[in-house]
Amino acid sequence: MSHLDELRKERLEKIELLRTAGMEPYPARTSRTHTVTEFLKNHQELDEQNEMVGIAGRILSIRDQGGVMFADIFDGTDKTQLVLQAEQLGEEKLELFRNAVDTSDVIEAHGEAFTTKRGMPSLQVSDWRMLAKSLQPVPDQWYGLKDEDERYRKRYLDILLSKDLADRIRRRSQFWNTIRSYLLARDFVEVETPVLETTTGGADARPFETHHNALGMSVYLRISAGELWQKRLMVAGLPKTFEIGRIFRNEGMSAEHLQDYTQLEYYEAFKDYRQGMEEITDLYRTIAQNVYGTQTFTIKDFEVNLADEWNVYDYCKLIEKEFGVDPLSTSADEVRSVLNDRSIAYETDGFNLERGIDLLWKQLRKSLGGPGFLIGVPAYMEPLAKRSAENPNVVERFQVILAGSEMGKGFSELNDPVDQASRFAHQQQLREQGDEEAQMNDQEYVDALEYGMPPAFGFGVSERLFSFLEGVPVREAQIFPLMRPR
């Protein structure tokens, strides 16, 4: 029998000891009066008034000095010290604590606030009871879980042992709620759109496919947070909508890519992408200030200051300067030749001009620190954005550039149903030629556009932005990342 098996056996026996003493090891109700944070904040007042206090939490450590026992208790808000003596608690309850309570147990303790001779704010315990008897000990707080695979599989222990990780989860909530509050304060309506779709749209990505038993048909998990649905709502007369929701992309994993993650998408009628740039600059600065209290971040090898004036990068000019090809006039064969000359790996199956140019851009963007906006993308690269009035070969689209990566995308939405149908048809040709990431032809969406959609600005950003501001890989920024079963 292993050491852990022996400990588990001992703790199972202690459950019977508790029940013999008339104490339920897993009760449903507690009578806590204060969180530990509240207890410490009001400790002096509670001490002076001799007020009876009830706190609850996990036992982190126990120190037995014979006539007196000390225990540290943590409830997720803070930790404090319990002092247990027979004079206040009684011999029977003290012995039960000594014989039945272990580190990692969750207990409730009642008593009075007092300060030890060493100046430690504590609770003098006059009664206690078990709330959840642990069968396995939590790993040592100082050594924790060092193996990355084990950390992700037992994320609950990783969070328990790491204040930084617990605080990151709180910042994650603050990140999304800052965005939500920002939009709600500007009269946006939060909506929910279908996760199961018969036609995916709103992004270039390979979807997950599943089967709908009740309807007897194949469906896809969405690859965007309702882009084409929210634009239907523009047609329906709702001028400002947003959704913060989960999306799914059946693609590779990297420090910046996941298969299921949270994304914001919002749409605003009667605005264009130039006005959108101003709004996004303000939104990102608001996120930084509210969540981190600063505008300056060290991300990878870049020092990024969101308070600086944001750069504007021209897509075609940058690629032509770096690789000697103009995305507006080059061919797939010419791009392939450049990729070969630069030893840039690419997939030969389904290779086309769009994928080749995108690979050149991904090589180039690594050197751009930002903050900035990338504009001037060819129309054939973006089937959902309005063409530029100055140059119809490019679209009114921008991407936020931070530390060599894309951190959000927005554009003047294409509302011409004839142009939209033509671009969907081109995307369908790419799919038939083997490009699994090309967008599907959504004729029902085109039908909606034929009723008239006002000019609109749309924008989307994923939790990748949060991971960058945190300075960690996107997988580390998730609470429970997906793991392959053992």
CATH number of the domain residue 13 falls in: 2.40.50.140
Does 485 reside within a domain?
no
Q: Is residue 45 part of a domain?
A: yes
**pLDDT (0 to 100) of residue 324:** 94
Residue 146's pLDDT is 67
**Residue 164, Cβ neighbours under 10 Å: how many?**
9
Same domain, yes or no: 239 and 169: yes
The predicted structure's pLDDT at residue 5: 86
Please tell me which residue, 434 or 468, carries the higher pLDDT value.
468
In a domain, 37, yes or no: yes
186 or 258: which carries more pLDDT confidence?
A: 186
- Tell me, yes or no, whether 198 and 290 share the same domain: yes
What would the two tokens of residue 205 be? 């990505």
For the stretch 395-418, pLDDT in tens is 999 999 999 999 999 999 999 999
Residues in the chain, overall count: 486
Contact 227, 203 (CB under 8 A): yes
Q: Select from 137, 124, 112 the least CA-distant residue to 45.
A: 112
pTM listed for this prediction: 0.90
Are residues 96 and 182 part of one domain?
no
Residues 37, 96: one domain?
yes
Which tens digits make up the pLDDT trace of 31-84? Answer: 999 999 999 999 999 999 999 999 999 999 999 998 899 999 999 999 999 999
Taking the C-alpha atoms of residue 12 and residue 368, their distance in angstroms, rounded to an integer, is 59
Q: Does any domain span residue 330? A: no
Are 112 and 223 within one domain? no
Do 96 and 233 sit in the same domain of this protein? Answer: no
Q: How far apart are CA 9 and CA 86, in angstroms?
A: 29
The pLDDT of residue 286: 98
Tens digits of per-residue pLDDT, 234-278? 999 999 999 999 999 998 888 888 899 999 999 999 999 999 999
| CATH number of the domain bearing residue 197 | 3.30.930.10
In this prediction, residues 114-120 reach a mean pLDDT of 91
Decide if 243 is inside a domain: yes
Are 406 and 279 within one domain?
A: yes
Q: How far apart are CA 86 and CA 105, in angstroms?
A: 21
179 shares a domain with 91: no
| pLDDT at residue 89 is higher than 80 | yes
Under 8 Å between Cβ of 206 and 230:
no
> 139 in a domain, yes or no?
no
Give the pLDDT confidence of 434-446 residue by residue, as tens digits: 877 778 788 899 9
Q: What percent of the chain has pLDDT over 90?
A: 77
Q: Please give the pLDDT value at position 145.
A: 63
Q: In this structure, are 286 and 211 located in the same domain?
A: yes
Q: What is the mean pLDDT of the chain?
A: 92
Domain extent, residue 437, equals: 160-310+370-477
Number of domains composing the chain:
2
Examine the domain organization and report whether 210 and 127 are in the same domain: no
Domain boundary among 132, 148, 178: 132
If asked whether residues 172 and 85 sit together in one domain, one would say: no
User: Is the pLDDT confidence value at 196 over 90?
Assistant: yes
Assess contact for 353 and 380: CB atoms under 8 A. yes
pLDDT at 110 over 80: yes
Rg for the chain, CA atoms, rounded:
29
Asked if residue 153 is part of any domain, the answer here is no
Give the chain's end-to-end CA distance (angstroms, integer). Answer: 22
Is residue 245 in some structural domain?
yes
pLDDT above 70 covers what percent of the chain? 98
Distance CA 430, CA 51 (A): 74
- Asked whether residue 81 falls in the same domain as residue 179, the answer is no
